[in-house]
Each structure stands twice: as structure tokens, then as C-alpha cells.
Amino acid sequence: MSEERDFFHRSDEMMACYRRGDYAAALAVTERLAAEFPDQVQRTTFWRVCLLARLERIAAALQALREALQAGLWWSEATMRRDPDLEPLQGLPEFERLVGLSLARAAAAQAGVQPLALVRPPAAGTPEPSPLLIALHGQGGTAGADLDRWQAACPLGWRVAALQSSQLAWPGAYAWDDKDKACQEVAGQFERLCAQFPVDRGRVVVGGFSQGAALAIRLVLTGSLPARGFLSVVPGAIELQLLNGWASAKRAAAVRGYLVAGGLDTRYEFFKQVRTTLTEHDIPCEMEDHPDLAHAFPEHFEKSLTRALSFLSA
């Protein structure tokens, strides 16, 4: 198991404490993770600030954020403004000052950042043009971190392209926060891939994790990408009004959906709603249920990938 996978596996304990509202226990786990995984300092520091805010330890939360910025850390505006855990801090003069410092660093770091595509070929002997699986990382992720999971499709005859956003969430981590920009960026990367490789445009699937999974649903249902379907692993939130609008829209070709759902994920009911909404609009959608899974890839994801691509290609 890679160090990053080990970190997220170990963080399940923290998330379990968080889900049951035991923020003090979640904070204790976070402190242990911070000591054991110094390379994950951006995540553990942010979690620490959030949990201190949840515990109404406002002075301690501000101090933790202040020390993080003094150490050179920063986070994007979306990260600092949209997380409900930070609501107790929003509007406080010291928090606003610290957010300003963070955003100034984010803007400087963002200059010149370009999208990235990591491509792996299909198995030798695969007829051309070959089908294409586009994979989108989650918020705070990278193309490289998820690639080994998605490239399990290569032996099945798929070319795999893990795409990385140009939008920084924090140093070395990326997000799809600006949805319109994200759609334009992915569509542009898709066209470049088609120009560079022999792609069967009739067999394109968009996969993603968390925020990237929600973007995959948007791209496919809105027709922003001419894809056969989406494979969404524990997708991030989508407004149901938007989802209904996308599902009811006319498309040039039929599409399908495949959801990988974690029963311990806080959005589990939302996953079921996605499936119900699509089914009501005559869009075939399967939901693979993992009762003991939180907000993560399931173990042996290659099996899920094989099942999903078979269903989406039918």
C-alpha cells in the first residue's frame, strides 16, 4: 500500500469520529496523523483548523491557521469559503486577514499553471481506434495519485487518460472548483487527446472520484463531452434541480451511468437520489453498493472498473 493510500485508510477513523459528531476524538486522530504523515501537512492542518472551529475553540483555530500561514502553507478561496466547518470563523476580522494572506499566495502560485494529461495505452494488440477512459481526480487530488487505479482498464483494451485540473486547491493539489472552466478544460483536453491518439469517439467513458465524479456526471449529462457514460466513485454534491435539468435534456446519443457508493459516506442518500433521478428520466444507471465504505475508492477497485465498463459499453 502506498503512503498516500495508507494515510487515507488511516484517516477513516477520523472520519468515523467526525460523522458521529465526536469532534474531540476526530481532532486527536488528526494530531496522530499529522505526526505520522508529515507529507500530508496541508490536509491535516486544514482538518485541525476545521475541527477546532467545530469545537468552538475559536482562538485555537485562528492560531493554528496563523501558524500554518507563517510556515508557508495556503489554500484556495473555495477551500477557505465553502467548507461548512469554517462557518464559525467566517467574518471574524482575524480570520478575514488570514484568508487574505492565503488568497494572495494562491493567486501568485496559480499564475501559469496548465492542465495536465497522463496517458496510458491499451493492451498490446488492441484494435484501433481504441476506447478512451477519461479519469478525473477529486478535490485536492492529482492525476498521478489516482492513475494506478484507473489504468486497470488498459488490459481490458482501453486507453486511459488521467486529467489534472489547472485550478490549485493548495500547493501540489488541484480542484475543479470553477465548474464552467473545468468543463471547458476537460473538453479541450479531450480534443487534444483525439488529435494525438486513435480514439474511438463512440466509446468514451468519463470516470472520476468525489469532486471529479460529480464533474463526470455533469460532462456526460450536459453533453459537454460526447461520452457513452460516466463512472462516478462517491461523487461530490450536485444540486438536485441542476441534476434534474441535465437528466431531462435532449442528447445526440443515449448515455448510461454507474455509481460506486459508500454506505458510510455522508452523501449516501444523495447517491441513491442520483440513481433514482436518472432512472426516472430513462437513463440506465447502476449503483454498486459498498456498505462499509466511506468517502474513498473501494478495495479491489479494478473489479468495480471491469463491471462498470461492461455496463457502460452495452
Question: In terms of domains, do 102 and 57 share one?
Answer: yes
CA distance to 218, 233, 275, per residue, from 239 (Å): 11, 17, 14
pLDDT at 188: 97
Of 61, 84, 110, the residue at which a domain comes to its end is 110
Q: In what order do the strands lie in the sheet with 116-120?
A: 116-120, 159-164, 130-136, 199-209, 229-233, 256-262, 285-290
- Say how far apart CA 108 and CA 240 lie, in whole Å: 35
Total domains in the chain come to 2
Provide the strand spans (E) within 10-144: 116-120, 130-136
Sequential pLDDT tens for the chain (314 residues): 467 778 988 898 999 999 899 999 999 999 999 999 999 999 999 999 999 999 999 999 999 999 999 999 999 999 999 999 999 999 999 999 999 999 999 999 999 899 999 999 999 999 999 999 999 999 999 999 999 999 999 999 999 999 999 999 999 999 999 999 999 999 999 999 999 999 999 999 999 999 999 999 999 999 999 999 999 999 999 999 999 999 999 888 999 999 999 999 989 999 999 999 999 999 999 999 999 999 999 999 999 999 999 999 98
- Domain at 204, CATH number: 3.40.50.1820
Classify residue 149 as exposed, middle or buried by CB count within 10 Å of its CB (0-12, 13-18, 19+): buried
> End of a domain among 110, 133, 164?
110
Task: Please give the pLDDT value at position 5.
Answer: 76
- Domain check: are 97 and 156 in the same one? no
CATH number at residue 63: 1.25.40
Residue 12: the pLDDT is 87
| Mean pLDDT value across the chain | 95
Same domain, 40 and 154: no
- The string of pLDDT tens digits covering residues 78-112 is 999 999 999 999 999 999 999 999 999 999 999 98
Q: Are residues 213 and 298 in the same domain?
A: yes
Grid cell in block for residue 295: 468517502
- Do 96 and 123 share a domain, yes or no? no
- Three-state secondary-structure class, residue 135: strand
Q: Which helix (H) or strand (E) holds 47?
A: helix 41-54
Task: Give dist(CA 69, CA 186) in Å, integer.
Answer: 32
Q: Which amino acid is at 194?
A: C
Residue 101 sits in the same domain as residue 209: no
> CA nearest 133: which of 161, 156, 164?
161
- Of 20, 55, 17, the C-alpha closest to 33 is 17
What distance in Å separates the CA atoms of residue 139 and residue 163, rounded to the nearest whole number?
A: 13
